[in-house]
Amino acid sequence: MERDDRQFYHLDANRKARRLFGEVVFAEGKATDHLQACIRGLLEANGEVLVTRLAPEAYEGLDDLKEQLDYDPLSKTATAGTKKEPVGSVAVVTAGTSDVAVAEECVRSLSYFGVKATRFYDVGVAGIHRLFEHMDAIAACDVIVVIAGMDGALPSVVAGLVTSPVIAVPTSVGYGASFEGVAALLSMLNACAEGVAVVNIDNGYGAAYMAAEIVYAIRQKTR
């Protein structure tokens, strides 16, 4: 049987009709020509695209596509499409500055989804007074995304002080016994405070998607 040159991907152009948002391109591990084809396909089908885990060297290999993309090397995300008027409010909170790359993936994804994000960075439990300085603003948000490595304690602390749902993101930040984020993941899964949901290690995009769905459910607004 003759091989189809497009067999390496199956574009889900109608996902937005089933879910709140359309298909997103996960760039890590994709060959350059496959990555280019996926991005072009979604741009042609939907007029917009979000690319995650796009390393700088992979971005450089996109050739003429780079002109259409807004790329951020810190978050390793690229976007294209019409800017949306932001709705709702999501607090994106990090324990430390080392967690900021994951946080920026979350912020950039939220912006792509049309949700307002406010940053509260480097307010971890090692200096808990820094968190308290911002608690009124954090608690006023519809959803709170808390991103932490090391001992992963911050989401439980925040959840005990607010009524909004908390989405916890463990990061791979930490020394050897952190097991590249597994220790933080287990801490978050065992949080004693109610209202904490946990996504995968370093998954800022996954936290943003869930936060955006909650915001739109609250606002009873669909795209």
- CA 211/CA 115 separation, integer angstroms: 9
Helices and strands counted in the chain (H then E)? 9, 9
Burial code (b: 16+ CB inside 10 Å, e: under 16) for 19-35 equals ebbbbbbebeebeeeeb
Give me 46's structure tokens.
Answer: 């939907």
Per-residue pLDDT of the chain (223 residues; tens, 9 = 90+): 455 555 777 887 778 778 778 889 999 999 999 999 999 999 998 889 999 999 999 999 998 999 999 999 999 999 998 788 899 999 999 999 999 999 999 999 999 999 999 999 999 999 999 999 999 999 999 999 999 999 999 999 999 999 999 999 999 999 999 999 999 999 999 999 999 999 999 999 999 999 999 999 998 754 5
pTM, entire model: 0.92
Say which residues have a Cβ less than 8 Å from residue 180's Cβ, sequence separation at least 6. Answer: 172, 174, 201
